[in-house]
Amino acid sequence: MKQAIHLAKPTVIFIMGVSGVGKSTIGALLAKQLEIPFFDADDYHSEANILKMSQGQPLTDHDRHDWLHALNTLAVAQLKTNSCIIACSALKASYRTILETTIAAATKWVFLHGSFQQIKERMQHRSHHFMTSDLLQSQFDTLEIPQNALSIDIHVSPEEMVAKIQENLPLKAQFGLIGLGVMGKSLCRNLAQKGVRISMYNRHVPEVEEDIAINFKKEFEELSSALPFDDLPAFVNSLKTPRKIMLMVNAGTAIDAVIENLLPFLSQGDSIIDGGNSNYKKTKERFEFLKSKGIHFIGAGVSGGEEGALKGPSIMPGGNAKAYQQVQPFLERIAAKDKNGVPCCSYVGNEGSGHFVKMIHNGIEYVEMQLLADVYTLLKAKGNTPDQIADILETWKSTKNSYLLEITCTILRKKEGDDWLVNKIMDTAGNKGTGNWAIIATAELGVPSTLIASALFARYASFYKAERVAANKQFNPQQHTAPKSSLEDLHKAYQFARIINHYQGFKLIQEASERFKWALNLSELARIWTNGCIIRSDYMIELATIFKTTHNLFAHQNTVQALKARKSAIQKVVAESVLHELPIPSISNAIHFFTGYTTANSSANLLQAQRDYFGAHTYQRKEDDTGQYYHTDWQQH
């Protein structure tokens, strides 16, 4: 990625040193890279001075007086609009004092130095220069080595010298991040490790959040060139324009508050990226609002938790495609890579589509988690300890591994004292809202995402701990006898349910894509979910290929075969679970959905008749394909 370089604040850089040291070459090269003007002090000498020097006579301090003041005037004038570079020998401390009069705080000194012999040889190779090599000794004699300058040895190439100077300049940051919570901090470190110059901001809340950014910078070596702030205008000013600012703050009103505070300091064409789990409808509203202000808004789903954010998350950016191009190199750099080394970050679509697909990602995640919880319920009922359950699940990895399967094995093995930690954890599951929004979205779109509902409602039902305990006493379910279904059947049931989960998740995305005209690419979404994110799995890698040829998983022959081969197993497992009163909400929902989906003539005819009876809602008839609606007076004999 080409590094765009801008100085953090208007600065005059004086490149100083004896004649022949290479000030003009280095100054011009640096100026080109920083895109700022370059001035050679030699061009500001009076004719009298030039004549004197060409005659081999050293200039006196008096000779230099007007020249130094002219250069100071030039520097002061330049600073009003821009930074600049001035190459000037500035051999004495008193000369440098004149040069930086009134602008010392905005002045940076770079001292080029080499041996007398090395410089003499260089000068002898030069033509058309009024300074003869005889004057060199007097230059060395006059030189008072500066204490406050960046000292650069000229024995390396000009390019290396310029790179060294740049490393030491207060440069504008390329990318800003607001919100140094767990995810924000990890993303900062990830960006910095990839060589991105960042500015980091965390608000100041007395006695609660103080010096967060400054202290965080001190903790990690890779943040040595990162700029820490708790002052918003200073943070914004530290960024190169057009600015790229990523928000990693809590979804909801906090996002609007940050946007409101940022807006007065932003310029047209700047981009804000919301990397949190925001509601896609709010993202669309923010997108429109900021568009009216000339600011780009990218709603980016970011998955992978703390570790993913640090080592490489899966990123799902949505918004204006052109604006995305500005932030693309940064997001791609920090994203996980797929099996071919391609970033797991791809432009999703317009408006809130990035956050929409992240929401569905989370819905699929809820189900994948619940399916493993269902498996755990059954294996526990068979009398297995958590370690034994982990042993069984380990064997499943070789068929189709997944991140969630892996972490579940690790979790199950974790002990605290004599007991497994999992046994000590209260069985009430939390959530942060994305599953809830996914169910609202699927209901609004009219898509039966029954598995997400099953997993979400299983979490909600878990909340009623006290009522469940009371009901257990009241109804005394016979959950003590071991279900008979085999481990092989259980494995097949799990695989069957996973297929249904992915079918439903991608179906919901496809329907939304059509409804909102987002033109989402299912194969590409599956691809960016093959690494970095929570639902990464071997199956997702297969799906990235399958979705290249169809949008409908059930139309894919391998899927049809896989479901047929596992159907009787899931039927047995679910039937057994019912008989043994074992709750496996998502596995059972998978076969119930499938049974309904594969029923050509459903009971909905009766629903239509009922609707027509009490509400005259009308119905269509099987023998009439014109689409006409009928009403019957059901009570008339």
By the rule CB under 6 A, 363 interacts with ligand 6PG:
no
d(CA 199, CA 560): 51
The count of chain residues that interact with ligand 6PG, using the rule CB under 6 A, is 13
What is the enclosing helix (H) or strand (E) of 609? helix 604-615
Q: Does position 367 bind ligand 6PG by CB under 6 A?
A: no
DSSP 8-state secondary structure symbol assigned to residue 58? P
Q: Output 179 or 228, the one with its CB closest to ligand 6PG.
A: 179
**Does residue 434 belong to the site contacting ligand 6PG (CB under 6 A)?**
yes
Segment lying near ligand 6PG (by CB under 6 A), choices 145-153, 184-192, 370-378, 425-433: 425-433
Cα–Cα distance for residue pair 58/139, rounded to 1 Å: 8
User: Phi first, then psi: what are they for 271, rounded to 5°?
Assistant: -120, 135
Residue 397 corresponds to which amino acid?
Answer: K
The smaller minimum CB distance to ligand 6PG, of residues 20 and 532, is found at: 532
Query: Is residue 425 involved in binding ligand 6PG (CB under 6 A)?
Result: no
Among candidates 190, 219, 177, which has minimal Cα distance to 308?
Answer: 190
The region of 45-53, 91-99, 291-299, 301-309 touching ligand 6PG under the rule CB under 6 A is 301-309
CB nearer ligand 6PG, residue 333 or residue 536: 536
- Are residues 401 and 472 in contact, defined by beta-carbon separation less than 8 angstroms? no
Contact with ligand 6PG (CB under 6 A): which of 30, 41, 534, 546?
Answer: 534
Which of 277, 337, 280 has its CA nearest to residue 313? 337
Give dist(CA 586, CA 493) in Å, integer. Answer: 11
Buried b (16+ CB within 10 A) or exposed e, 161-194: bbeebeeebebbbbbbbbbbeebbbbbbbbbbbe
Q: Is 365 annotated as catalytic? A: yes
CB 12 within 8 A of CB 39: no
Task: Determine which residue in the list 417, 430, 446, 627 makes contact with ligand 6PG, applying CB under 6 A.
Answer: 430
Catalytic one of 365, 380, 507, 572: 365
Q: Smallest gap, in angstroms, from Cβ of residue 411 to ligand 6PG?
A: 15
Q: Does 274 bind ligand 6PG (CB under 6 A)?
A: no
Candidates 132, 431, 479, 608: give the one binding ligand 6PG (CB under 6 A): 431
Q: Which of 49, 277, 283, 586 binds ligand 6PG (CB under 6 A)?
A: 277
Least distance between ligand 6PG and beta carbon 358 (Å): 7
Binds ligand 6PG by CB under 6 A, chosen from 415, 432, 484, 621: 432
CB of 611 to ligand 6PG, least distance (A): 36
Q: Which residues of 382-400 are buried (b: 16+ CB within 10 A; e: fewer)?
A: bebebeebbebbeebeeeb
Q: Please, which residue, 22 or 304, has the CB nearer to ligand 6PG?
A: 304
CB half-sphere exposure, 33, CA atoms < 13 A: 21
The Cα-based distances of 277 to 311, 434, 446, 522 in angstroms read 19, 7, 23, 20
Binding of ligand 6PG at residue 173 (CB under 6 A)?
A: no
Neighbour tally for 516: CB within 10 Å: 18
Q: What is the dihedral of CA 542, 548, 550, 553, to 10 degrees?
A: 20
358 annotated active-site: yes
Closest CB to ligand 6PG among residues 20, 304: 304
- 278 touches ligand 6PG (CB under 6 A): no
Q: Which residues pair with 199 in a beta bridge?
A: 176, 227
Residue 453 binds to ligand 6PG (criterion: CB under 6 A): no
Shortest distance, position 95 Cβ to ligand 6PG, whole Å? 59
Other Cβ atoms within 10 Å of 463 Cβ, number? 14
The least CB distance from residue 413 to ligand 6PG, in Å, is 22
Q: Does 89 interact with ligand 6PG (rule: CB under 6 A)?
A: no
Binder of ligand 6PG out of 11, 362, 408, 513 (CB under 6 A): 362
Catalytic positions are 358, 365
Q: Which residues bind ligand 6PG (CB under 6 A)?
A: 277, 303-305, 362, 365, 430-432, 434-435, 533-534
